[in-house]
Amino acid sequence: MSRIPLVLILGAFVALGTVWAEEPTHSDAEKSEWASCTICKHMAPHMEELMPVMKRETIRMNDGLAMLHWVTDDSKVELFHEIGAKMNESGEATAEWTAEQAEKDLCHYCFDMWEVIAAGARYSQGQTKNGDIMVLTSDDPDVQAKLFELHEKAVKEMGT
């Protein structure tokens, strides 16, 4: 399960980036959830700086989904990538977690990502000049259904 952490990181960028950027104020409960998430806690202190320049797109594919994340301010790319590295390091701990631990120590969005990967989704990823890309797919119709649900939830909660 060593593939789980990076996917969670990219999912966290999606969860935090768009939600924070589109809504200038958030409840203390939301901020607390992000700050206490094993993955998102590295991004949380940089929200005010990064979220106004972060963009994302989620694309439904025939066998899963793709997520693109990028920053529009070139001066923030290095920070974006540095935070991703820290999130990846923390995410390594999730590879062997039980569902109970993941539900306890991850925000709801990262948990959803953890759950679909634990169900067998495969991923590929890469860093772009100003962001990153992630692709989650499966040949298994049951896992594909979970991926399609995740796509719909991401679009509903965060837009595009």
Average pLDDT of the chain? 84
Q: What is the pLDDT of residues 103-131, one digit of tens each?
A: 999 998 889 988 998 999 997 778 899 99
Mean pLDDT of 94-104: 92
Mean pLDDT of 16-30: 56
Check residue 100 and give its pLDDT.
96
| Cα–Cα separations (whole angstroms), residue 23 to 57, 92, 116, 119, 158 | 17, 30, 27, 32, 10
Check residue 13 and give its pLDDT.
55
37: number of Cβ within 10 Å: 25
pLDDT at 133 over 50: yes
Mean pLDDT of 120-147: 91
pLDDT at 44 over 70: yes
- pTM reported for the whole predicted model: 0.78
Q: What is the pLDDT of residues 32-42, one digit of tens each?
A: 888 999 999 99
Check residue 14 and give its pLDDT.
53
